[in-house]
């Protein structure tokens, strides 16, 4: 996201989504000047997930019970380790606080970059996935189109910024 944002300060950046642009991928796309998607693309999933695995009774390859002992400095050092005891309510609250902080940062960035109101997050965020047409209606995408529309949009942005585009246009594909 930051790299695209820095690049767009120097030259126009149009993001073309052909299939999917969700979660962190959508955050990265927000670094461009414009987002174009196909009508069938999946857009959004603006949310944060953390998965903590927990092995209740660890076993060796020969199916013998495995004893795991941790030696740590810092009472939270093994929190989230698959072999650590289950989270305490305090530890779970700490994880949820971090998840909510990340979610709030993500939503603020999307709101600022896309000109969306944080008070209407339930209309564009909340980890929902939208098709390309719906994403345009909700402000997550500027328009639906293909590579031809992306090239045209780049030319328009170059003209608007009065940047010479007589040289060959370079397209970067991140599949």
Confidence class of residue 156 from pLDDT cuts 50, 70 and 90? very high
| Residue 175 pLDDT exceeds 70 | no
What's the pLDDT at 6?
A: 95
- CB-based contact 32:11 (threshold 8 Å): no
| Residue 116 pLDDT exceeds 90 | yes
Q: Dump pLDDT digits (tens) for 56-114.
A: 776 666 767 777 788 889 888 888 888 888 888 998 999 999 999 999 999 999 999 99
What's the pLDDT at 13?
A: 93
3-state secondary structure the chain: CHHHHHHHCCCCCEEEECCEEECHHHHHHCCCCEEEECCCCEEECCCCCCCCCCCCCCECCCCCECCCCCCCCCCCCCCCCCCCCCCCHHHHHHHHHHHHHHHHHHHHHHHHHHCCCHHHHHHHCCCCEEEHHHHHHCCCCCEECCHHHHHHHHHHHHHHCCCCCCCCCCCCCCC
Q: Dump pLDDT digits (tens) for 22-65.
A: 999 999 999 999 999 999 999 999 999 988 887 777 666 676 77
Half-sphere exposure of 47 (CA within 13 A, CB side): 13
What's the pLDDT at 93?
A: 94
Greater pLDDT, 40 or 174: 40
> Between the ranges 24-28, 154-158, 162-166, where is the mean pLDDT highest?
24-28
Confidence (pTM): 0.85
What's the pLDDT at 58?
A: 66
Greater pLDDT, 172 or 135: 135
């Amino acid at each position: 996201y930051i790299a695209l944002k820095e690049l767009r300060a120097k030259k126009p950046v149009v993001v073309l989504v052909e299939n999917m642009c969700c979660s962190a991928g959508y955050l990265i796309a927000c670094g461009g000047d414009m987002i174009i998607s196909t009508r069938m693309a999946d857009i959004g999933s603006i949310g944060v997930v953390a998965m903590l695995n927990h092995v209740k009774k660890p076993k060796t390859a020969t199916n013998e019970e495995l004893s795991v002992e941790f030696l740590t400095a810092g009472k939270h050092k093994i929190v989230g380790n698959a072999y650590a005891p289950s989270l305490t309510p305090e530890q779970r609250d700490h994880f949820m606080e971090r998840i909510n902080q990340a979610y709030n940062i993500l939503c603020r960035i999307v709101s600022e970059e896309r000109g969306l109101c944080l008070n209407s997050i339930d209309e564009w965020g909340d980890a929902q996935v939208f098709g390309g047409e719906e994403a345009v209606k909700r402000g997550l995408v500027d328009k639906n189109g293909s590579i031809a529309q992306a090239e045209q949009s780049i030319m328009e942005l170059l003209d608007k910024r009065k940047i010479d585009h007589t040289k060959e246009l370079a397209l970067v594909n991140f599949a």
